[in-house]
Structure 1
Amino acid sequence: MTTEFQHTPLSEIQHIYERVTATFKSGVTRPLEYRRKQLLQLKRMLQENQTALEDAHYLDFNKPRVEIALNEVSASISTVTYALQHFEEWARPEKPEVEAWRSSWDSTIHKVPKGVALIIAPFNYPIVLSFNPMVGAIAAGCPVVLKPAEATPNASTLIAKLLPKYLDPAAYAVVNGGIPETSALLELRWDHIFFTGGPKVGQIVATAAAKHITPVTLELGGKSPVIIDTDCDLELAAKRTLYGKLQNAGQVCVAPDYVLVPRSVAPAFKKALAKWYETFWPKGTLHDVTQWGKIVNSVAHQRIKRLIQQTKGEIILGGEATDDGRIALTIVTGVTADDSLMQEEIFGPVLPLIEVDNVDDAIAFIAERQIPLALYVFTRSADTKKKVIERTNSGRLAFNETFASFAGHELPFGGHGHSGYGSYIGKISFDTFTHNRGTTDVPAEMEPMFEPRYPPYSDEKYKMMTQSMRVPAPEA
């Protein structure tokens, strides 16, 4: 049974904001012991409520529980565990290397929390995309107001219920609702805003933040392409591309959005796609509701159906839809650049195939378009890898893998250009919510060196103070 979704009263939002702001100003969230306790409590919350979180997510999407457990709950626990192991090291002051004449100044970089953070999470992964950035904020010493997605009422309601039971309610709060509640939040001055969603709303968030000169992280998405090289293992490329597309029924910001495949290997690639499609779903993706999730709501369902109906390409696999919100994983061949499937991010279970002459044409095709959040390339060629690195741009670039390439805590994840700006994951999440505050302590013993800077000025003092300008440049 679906939970009744409760909007946070608009009158409470100002009080929530004032409460967490006062908490930050009091200094409560700064000590490392406090941060550790909150991270431990968050981990405890996720572990003790694993089944409840999976159940809530299942009610919102009806997707396979293994996807929910692996990509939502387990991934969130992994993130908070990694932070617990490392955040004290991340928070240590740094002593940068300085020029010899300033070696006595005690130059130091202190890791200071930015302040109160607003995190606006999307519907497609309501658990991990709420808590992954929140872990970074907690580790950095920042209070958080979390705005989960209204399109996932069950997960969002459960998060709002659980969070104050485990974390300090004076520092961490949840605001549930839709456009009115989000608009009310964006009217306020935050110290950092972290938004995951689409470019249209991202522009609204960035505009609101600009009024207060608030730093923003925008994780937006875009049309993430797959390049197939003629030398790659086509069977593996088809299998891993399908795996990347099947996650959450294609409702993933880094899902393969379209495939660029050379004409010479296109028939073999299509055959490989068909083989793995039938292996994964012998009776089709819609046959067993435990193996295939639904589209988040009727508006998104109709949008994706319309894209399929309007395409001029040929549907070679899938194409069916049901009244309960499901759409079969659909493979479309013969797609051109002006097709309906190429005008916006698909964000659903449709995979267009575009045939090109070679990898160079694929690279040129990508370079002419907005920078994607992810780019996938299947190749054995070192030359092709070098070419793609040098001649394309993307938030993340992965060779010979799709979805699993985002595992781990070491590499930054974030958009570039149209796909957003800023990044997070692991230490970078901590850095996102941290201000690097430089400090110096200049000893009195430096005064003889400083004497020429004081008035009255003279030609001699000028020469002394500008002598570094006359040092010859090194030979090329």
Structure 2
Amino acid sequence: MSQALPATTASISLDELLKRQDQYFQTGVTRGYDFRLSQLKTLMATIRQHEKAILEALGRDLRKHETEAYLAEVGITYAEISDSIKHLKKWMKPRKVASPLALWPAKSRIVPEPLGRTLIISPWNYPFQLAIAPLIGAIAAGNVAVIKPSEMAPHTAALLEQMINQAFAPEYVHVKNGGVEFSQQLLECRWDHIFFTGSTAIGKVVAAAAAKNLTPCTLELGGKSPCIVTRNAHLEVTARRIVFGKFLNAGQTCVAPDYILVEDTIHDALIEALRREITLRFGSNPLGNEQLPRIINERHFQRLMRLIEPGKVNFGGRADAGQLLIEPTLLTGVQMHDPVMKEEIFGPILPIIPVKDLSQAKKFILGFEKPLAFYLFSDSQQEQTDVINSVSFGGGCINDTLMHLANPNLPFGGVGASGAGAYHGEHSFDAFSHKKSVVMNSSFFDLPVRYFPWIKSKDKVLRLLLK
């Protein structure tokens, strides 16, 4: 076991914290390249120092195996910080843009500037990664930040409070823990930006609260992310990658495949491939596998159990209420009106629905809100092009699942009900920046055509310049 962290500094009231952060930001110290770079390095060193404690906390909250926790939470965070350190100077540099002839001899630039005091509200399913990843963007962009972790992952939340508050001054970056009432208190405050990751229902509450102060938001939400499998798919690889994406973290992943639409001619073959793959990865008794993550709490466990209709269980379906475990479960015979199709599942339950062809699958998807993620398994380039050009979704993969999150050069975010705004890599920097437009003119030359009085000769010149 890792050594316990020393006690954090004395708690600071919310009012005092916000006052100090405003004052600190206004000094301008967070804007410099050297400062931002040093803080990113401090964040990296802090995570490395407490890596073992982080993995242990994730194990206690969600029973994540150390390797899974490193893959999906800690390792991806290291990569994100490294990418920001490598490219920060380039991201901060003002970008020259062309100026029209009418502005000659002026030059134009886009200058990124920090937004100011930011609030990051993170969820319980990836309680470390989804708290730190937005913070990387906030630091890189030159902001100050308050982080509110999810109280539903208490061990990780407590660790975040200790390690971050010891590494950074409260006027710069500070973690404050609390429950629903504290979240409401935070949302009543004025912020320069709110970054929220969570459910669509709570996202609406955040957006409504932010609107009272005209506060811009990045909303990373969810929804029912579909997975289409056509007859042109390689079934063995398809099953392997679907099982990975669906049952990682016991399905408690916002971009997990929520349901499968499979061409009816390969329906049975896909199910057999999925059954073999689940058995290969989790054994014949998944509930006895120590690497099977748990459901976060009793309420979510009972919600998921209500979605498992015994008559529609094709594979799996067993549970251990004492340990909050549900084995990977395949459902067949599912109808559009079934409870499992009425909400985002967010658990290890996978409905499989046969369709006639790709066209019918696309019509089925249109019955739902725009999803956060979309997955197509097909080796047909025509089918790949078809869905990319005709289906609206936040992001996704062809012949894979989840892996679009692993590329920091790709923006990650939703569309419509699945979210607003995007982040990762430079897109995180952009999410926490304002792109300021600047025209830099010369005082040694002045075009008289733009000034009063208006005469015919000026009219002709303006029409030439502005056509």
TM-score class, shorter-chain normalisation, is over 0.9
- The DSSP-based 3-state class of the residue aligned with 1:222 is coil
8 A contact 2:51–2:74 mirrored in 1: yes
The offset of 1:98, in angstroms, is 2.2
The offset of 1:364, in angstroms, is 1.2
- Corresponding residue to 1:318 among 309, 316, 319: 316
Q: In the aligned structure 2, how far is the partner of 1:210 from the partner of 1:9? A: 33
Higher alpha-carbon deviation: 353-362 or 434-443: 434-443
Q: In the aligned structure 2, how far is the partner of 1:119 from the partner of 1:433? A: 11
1:135 aligned residue? 136
Structure 2 unaligned blocks of 5 or more: none
2:217 aligned residue? 216
2:52 aligned residue? 51
1:446 aligned residue? 445
2:382 aligned residue? 383
Q: In the aligned structure 1, how far is the partner of 2:108 from the partner of 2:325? A: 59
Matches within 5 A, 1:335-346: 335-346=334-345
1:303 aligned residue? 303
8 A contact 2:112–2:436 mirrored in 1: yes
2:76 aligned residue? 75
> Cα gap change, 1:119/1:366 in structure 2, threshold over 3 Å: closer, same or farther?
same
Could you list the runs of 4 or more consecutive aligned residues of structure 1 that deviate by over 3 angstroms after TM superposition? 8-11, 100-103, 458-464, 466-469
Q: Counterpart of 2:442 in structure 1: which amino acid?
A: P
The offset of 1:284, in angstroms, is 2.3
Q: Counterpart of 2:372 in structure 1: which amino acid?
A: L
Q: Deviations over 1:247-268 (max 9, x none)?
A: 1100000011000011110010
Structure 1 unaligned blocks of 5 or more: 472-476
Q: Does 1:364 align with 2:363?
A: yes
- The DSSP-based 3-state class of the residue aligned with 2:95 is coil
Q: Deviations over 1:225-267 (max 9, x none)?
A: 1000101101111111011011110000001100001111001
Q: Counterpart of 1:169 in structure 2: which amino acid?
A: P
Q: Deviations over 1:429-473 (max 9, x none)?
A: 0011111111122223432x2x2333333344334333456x5xx
8 A contact 2:222–2:414 mirrored in 1: yes
8 A contact 2:192–2:215 mirrored in 1: yes
> Cα gap change, 1:294/1:42 in structure 2, threshold over 3 Å: closer, same or farther?
same
8 A contact 1:379–1:385 mirrored in 2: yes
8 A contact 1:175–1:181 mirrored in 2: no
8 A contact 1:284–1:318 mirrored in 2: no
Q: Deviations over 1:385-434 (max 9, x none)?
A: 11101211100031000023321211000000010110000000001111
Q: In the aligned structure 2, how far is the partner of 1:318 from the partner of 1:9? A: 49
TM-score when scaled to structure 1? Answer: 0.93
The offset of 1:12, in angstroms, is 1.2
Matches within 5 A, 1:67-466: 67-288=68-289, 290-309=290-309, 314-322=312-320, 323-447=322-446, 449=447, 451-466=448-463
The offset of 1:102, in angstroms, is 3.3
Q: In the aligned structure 2, how far is the partner of 1:368 from the partner of 1:283? A: 36
1:474 aligned residue? none
- The DSSP-based 3-state class of the residue aligned with 1:293 is coil
The offset of 1:109, in angstroms, is 1.4
Q: Counterpart of 1:234 in structure 2: which amino acid?
A: L
Q: Counterpart of 1:202 in structure 2: which amino acid?
A: G
TM-score when scaled to structure 2? Answer: 0.95
Q: Counterpart of 1:345 in structure 2: which amino acid?
A: E
8 A contact 1:318–1:330 mirrored in 2: yes
Q: In the aligned structure 1, how far is the partner of 2:104 from the partner of 2:408? A: 35
Q: In the aligned structure 1, how far is the partner of 2:207 from the partner of 2:176? A: 20
The offset of 1:334, in angstroms, is 1.2
Q: Counterpart of 1:254 in structure 2: which amino acid?
A: V
Q: In the aligned structure 1, how far is the partner of 2:37 from the partner of 2:371? A: 36
8 A contact 1:295–1:326 mirrored in 2: yes
The offset of 1:359, in angstroms, is 1.1
Q: Counterpart of 2:348 in structure 1: which amino acid?
A: P
- The DSSP-based 3-state class of the residue aligned with 1:286 is helix
The offset of 1:11, in angstroms, is 8.1
Q: Counterpart of 1:147 in structure 2: which amino acid?
A: K
- The DSSP-based 3-state class of the residue aligned with 1:466 is helix
Number of residues of Structure 1 aligned to a counterpart in Structure 2: 462
Q: Deviations over 1:75-116 (max 9, x none)?
A: 111111111111111001111122345353131211111111
- The DSSP-based 3-state class of the residue aligned with 1:351 is strand
Q: In the aligned structure 1, how far is the partner of 2:11 from the partner of 2:455? A: 65
Q: CA RMSD in A?
A: 2.0
Q: In the aligned structure 1, how far is the partner of 2:84 from the partner of 2:65? A: 28
Q: In the aligned structure 2, how far is the partner of 1:461 from the partner of 1:104? A: 18
Q: In the aligned structure 1, how far is the partner of 2:220 from the partner of 2:10? A: 27
Q: In the aligned structure 2, how far is the partner of 1:80 from the partner of 1:51? A: 18
8 A contact 1:157–1:176 mirrored in 2: yes
- The DSSP-based 3-state class of the residue aligned with 1:446 is coil
8 A contact 1:10–1:181 mirrored in 2: no
Q: Deviations over 1:193-217 (max 9, x none)?
A: 0000001110011011111111100
Q: Counterpart of 1:422 in structure 2: which amino acid?
A: G
Q: Deviations over 1:49-90 (max 9, x none)?
A: 110001111110112221111111111111111111111110
8 A contact 2:101–2:465 mirrored in 1: no
> Cα gap change, 1:404/1:464 in structure 2, threshold over 3 Å: closer, same or farther?
closer
- The DSSP-based 3-state class of the residue aligned with 2:245 is helix
Q: Counterpart of 1:321 in structure 2: which amino acid?
A: A
Q: Deviations over 1:1-45 (max 9, x none)?
A: 9x9xx9x99981111111111111111211111111110110001
- The DSSP-based 3-state class of the residue aligned with 2:260 is strand
8 A contact 1:38–1:168 mirrored in 2: no
> Cα gap change, 1:10/1:181 in structure 2, threshold over 3 Å: closer, same or farther?
farther
Q: Deviations over 1:372-393 (max 9, x none)?
A: 0000000000110111012111
Higher alpha-carbon deviation: 259-268 or 277-286: 277-286
Q: Counterpart of 2:275 in structure 1: which amino acid?
A: A
